[in-house]
Structure 1
Amino acid sequence: MLQYILQTIAFQLLFLLVYELFLKKETFFTYNRAYLLLTPVLALLLPLLKIPALQAAIPAETFVMLPEVIIGGNSAEIASRDLAATPSQVTPVINWWLLIYGGGFLFSLGFFFNKFRILRQLFAHKPVMTTAEMKIVEVPNSRLACTFYNTIFLGAQLSEKEREQILSHELVHLKQRHTLDLLFFEVLRIVFWFNPLIYIYQSRITALHEYLADAGVVKNVKKQEYFQQLLNSAFNTEDISFINQFFNHSIIKKRIVMLQKTKSKSTSKFKFLILLPLMLAMLTYVSCSEDPATSQEEKELTAQEKIEKIEAIFGDGTNLTSEEREEIKAILKTVSPQDLEKYSKRGENVQVQKTSSSMGDVPFAVIEEVPVFPGCEGLGSNEERKNCMSEKVSEFVQSNFNTSLGKELGLKGINRVYVQFKIQKDGNVELLGARAAHPALQEEAERVVNLLPQMTPGKQKGQEVGVLYTLPITFNAGE
């Protein structure tokens, strides 16, 4: 979920940057309105899309975990601790993130209903004109001028000339249903109250509504008179973000500047084509990215579920349909070779395509000739060199890891660290990243992996290639 939220915010930020840099100053107001309404929805949907064709075109690097390295304890002790933490004995943990989100959601919802309370006070005044399409309500002792859906609110203190121009302006808001746009962003503000970009989106479309309405008015009114009206009118409005307000301090100047702009050239519409490569880049990123695994057990569970699904499709192993075979092929592409070694069903000859990335990097699990750790050169088989590699890496990490960190940091219990690295084509180790609950543990794991010696590089089809690893480290800091 966190990855989805971060991707959504990142995509919305990119869309907003495109608007600010290329589209904001153009006079294609209708196109810009569509852009501002469409792009936040696209940002919500794109992280959910994973296109197989893009995954095949740019294969993702696959990291397979090395055996777990135990520091400061033994595997039996840690296993017994994990086993002791059964669901029946675990004390329920309060989900603080959910509580914070719920609190923000309820506050935003309450703030929204308070705006409706203010709006109801305006509706309490009697309308002075009602038709099938609109209603005009006069507000006593006020210079208010705003619109909500099909109702226009006008202050009783406005002069006749002011009313005439303001009414023309507000009718554009009414006919183009600008209120629906603002209510749409109000809903987004409630659900995604923590996302500041939603507020920026709403601000931008509010200004755009005013540009649209002003453009409609000056078709029938002289611009200079309209400018004078904007500058001389008093400002007295309620702060309700989902009504269209004629008098708005923050955008009066922008409205005047936009009214004086020369109409944008038709060729400027090609700027909207920036969306195509931008969306393609987003889809490629989403299709080729994977959620990081939190444990080896989770990965094995996922693989087991895939294997069980294959078995369910096979049934008694006879008379498979073409659709069933295609589904099996799709599943097999996501199952590692080790899992397939465990799977054998009624003589079916199942092949798995082993792919390498465009950079020539392959996972440790499928490499034909694994990298050789110093001291493992004399072993004959690939499997023996794999096991020796795992043992040597484990011994190296155990002997070099600073076990005094537990006391220095005041840590207790089991602390897990995950490190990703690559043995390059020249045999040198390249650190790709690490994650741990405590930054100091992450730094220590990175330091130790950077100390790994140069190795004999791995080979695939006779050529030296980079080989990818994920190393789980379990640090037992004690009680």
Structure 2
Amino acid sequence: MITYFIKVVAFQLLFLLSYDLFLKKETFFNWNRVYLIFSSLIAFVLPFIKLESFQNVVPQEYIILLPEIVLTPEKAVATIEPTWNWFLIVGIAVSSLLFIYKIVQLATLRFKGRFVKREQYTVIIIPKSTLAFSIFNYVFVGEEIEEAKLEDILSHELVHIREKHSLDLLYFELLRILCWFNPLVYIYQKRISEVHEYIADAAVVRNKDKSDYYEKLLAEVFQTQQFSFTNQFFKHSLIKKRIIMLTKQKSRQILKLKYLVLVPMLILSLVYTSCEDTTVSEVENTEANVEKMSAKVAQAVEDFNAYSESVKGVEMMTKEQYTKLGDLSKQLFESRRELAIAKGEEPEVLHANGWNYDDYVVARKKSIQENVTYDEFEKEAVSSKDLDKVPVHPNCEGKVSQNELKECLNISIQKHIMQNFDVKRAESVGLVGRQRIIIKFMIDKNGDVSNVLARAPHPALKDEAEKVINTLPKFKPGMKDGKPKSVKFAIPIVFQIEE
């Protein structure tokens, strides 16, 4: 979700910069109004649009994430609740309360005033006040405003009512609540308020003398009320800009071509969203799916922890107890993997150990519990279904189906690492506790292992990991559309060094 909002802010920034550079000073006020509303809205949609035609421009890279290898089991851990959602909810709640407070203030003013019904709108006259603003079909004016000056104010506010400017402001007010952390929403609302005033001024001076109108703007000082979702006739920060626009010569029609700047911006945005990630997720990345997977993970964690607690005091579990715990562990592993794919993040997940009961008995005697976690390369991985055939290990040449080949490949590489990796290298350099190594390598078009790169907490472990991977045998390369393809692999290794 954080990544999504970062993209939205980036797109809105791009659109706002283009508006300020190319369009803001033009007198195409209604066009500017449409641009501001459209660009603020399309920024929320663009991150979801991925065009296959753009994806094909960039060659796809095939990456297979192998299951994590645990050399020394350790205690299981529960899920870590992300704080971002709570942070977002609290901000929305505070923003909503502020909005409600403004509504209450507005309602208070409404009930204080005297109503005067007109054909298209209602005037609310506020006692002992020089207020002047409108919202929907209501115009608020102070009773201390002179009758002779009231005509221009009502003409101005009637334009806001006729053009339904309050809907624009309410839309941006809603964005301020939902995206309270995004400063660009406030800038958008400020820009749309300016455009509203320009539209209203332009409509009023069609039948009035311009100089007389802006002289009145300069001469009058009205009381203002800080309602961000109302159209205020007098706002100090806008007076100078309104007068400049009133005196500005109308922009030439050919300058409307400037709005075509939106076209290359949209194309660039679509290229970015389409090619930013060329890997294919196994689970559709939608908010509904994330919520569903989150609930599934929470239930799986609850079930696993509850049963783990029930057998915690058991010196040696029965085979039935061990089988049930294994099934719950597998369910947890699968649900957390699905959630990781859906969110595109790097969660801690539980991996089923795959031991039989005899292995458990040996491990239990040593007082070891297993916990396996996935790592950050989850988001890079693609399903092996994108290849017609995965690379074939020499031990797997008798396998036929894609699933059999993949399973055999995983088991063969895991067995090679577990047999050849020297855990004592970590002890020799003084490392203790949980250690994690990430290995990336490629099986190229010739079936050779290349581009081996390991990331480890100590150079000695890095060297050991790279040495082990470099001793893998020659493979038959992965195939796609009848052609050999280079395929990247990412393998996490976790082991525990007792203090």
TM-score normalised by structure 1 residue count: 0.66
Give the structure 2 partner of residue 179 of structure 1: 166
User: How far apart are residue 469 of structure 1 and its match?
Assistant: 3.9
Q: What is the 5 A alignment of 1:335-350?
A: 335-337=383-385
Structure 1 unmatched runs, 5+: 306-333, 338-351, 355-364, 371-382, 435-440
SS at match of 1:210: helix
Give the structure 2 partner of residue 468 of structure 1: 488
Aligned partner of 1:474: which letter? V
Give the structure 2 partner of residue 105 of structure 1: 92
Decide whether the 8 Å contact of 2:132 with 2:222 is kept in 1: no
Give the structure 1 partner of residue 35 of structure 2: 35
Give the structure 1 partner of residue 48 of structure 2: 48
User: How far apart are residue 149 of structure 1 and its match?
Assistant: 0.6
Say if 2:265 is the partner of 1:245: no
Cα distance in structure 2, aligned partners of 1:10 and 1:43: 8
Q: What is the 5 A alignment of 1:290-305?
A: none
Cα distance in structure 2, aligned partners of 1:150 and 1:143: 19
Say if 2:282 is the partner of 1:234: no
Cα distance in structure 1, aligned partners of 2:181 and 2:498: 38
| Structure 1 residues 121 and 300, CA gap change in structure 2 (3 angstroms) | closer
Decide whether the 8 Å contact of 1:146 with 1:243 is kept in 2: yes
Aligned partner of 2:176: which letter? R
Decide whether the 8 Å contact of 2:452 with 2:466 is kept in 1: no
Question: Which stretch of structure 1 is more off in the superposition, 421-430 or 204-213?
Answer: 421-430
Cα distance in structure 2, aligned partners of 1:15 and 1:131: 40
SS at match of 1:99: helix
Decide whether the 8 Å contact of 2:37 with 2:168 is kept in 1: yes
User: How far apart are residue 59 of structure 1 and its match?
Assistant: 4.5
User: How far apart are residue 113 of structure 1 and its match?
Assistant: 0.6
Give the structure 1 partner of residue 305 of structure 2: none
Decide whether the 8 Å contact of 2:63 with 2:488 is kept in 1: yes
Q: What is the 5 A alignment of 1:3-14?
A: 3-14=3-14
Decide whether the 8 Å contact of 2:50 with 2:274 is kept in 1: yes
Give the structure 2 partner of residue 344 of structure 1: none
Give the structure 1 partner of residue 154 of structure 2: 167
Cα distance in structure 2, aligned partners of 1:212 and 1:397: 75
Say if 2:189 is the partner of 1:202: yes
Aligned partner of 1:26: which letter? E
| Structure 1 residues 405 and 4, CA gap change in structure 2 (3 angstroms) | farther
Cα distance in structure 2, aligned partners of 1:220 and 1:304: 62
Q: What is the 5 A alignment of 1:372-451?
A: 413=434, 429=451, 448=462
Q: What is the 5 A alignment of 1:266-305?
A: 266-288=253-275, 289=277
Structure 2 unmatched runs, 5+: 284-331, 343-381, 395-407
Say if 2:282 is the partner of 1:262: no
Q: What is the 5 A alignment of 1:22-171?
A: 22-65=22-65, 68=68, 74-75=71-72, 77-78=73-74, 81-82=75-76, 85=77, 90=78, 95-171=82-158
Provide the aligned C-alpha RMSD in A: 4.6
SS at match of 1:247: coil
Decide whether the 8 Å contact of 1:211 with 1:258 is kept in 2: yes
Decide whether the 8 Å contact of 2:170 with 2:229 is kept in 1: yes
| Structure 1 residues 226 and 62, CA gap change in structure 2 (3 angstroms) | farther
Give the structure 2 partner of residue 323 of structure 1: none
Cα distance in structure 2, aligned partners of 1:394 and 1:42: 54
TM-score normalised by structure 2 residue count: 0.63
Question: Which stretch of structure 1 is more off in the superposition, 101-110 or 417-426?
Answer: 417-426
Decide whether the 8 Å contact of 1:185 with 1:198 is kept in 2: yes
Identity %: 36
User: How far apart are residue 463 of structure 1 and its match?
Assistant: 11
User: How far apart are residue 5 of structure 1 and its match?
Assistant: 2.0
Aligned residues, how many?
389
| Structure 1 residues 189 and 301, CA gap change in structure 2 (3 angstroms) | closer
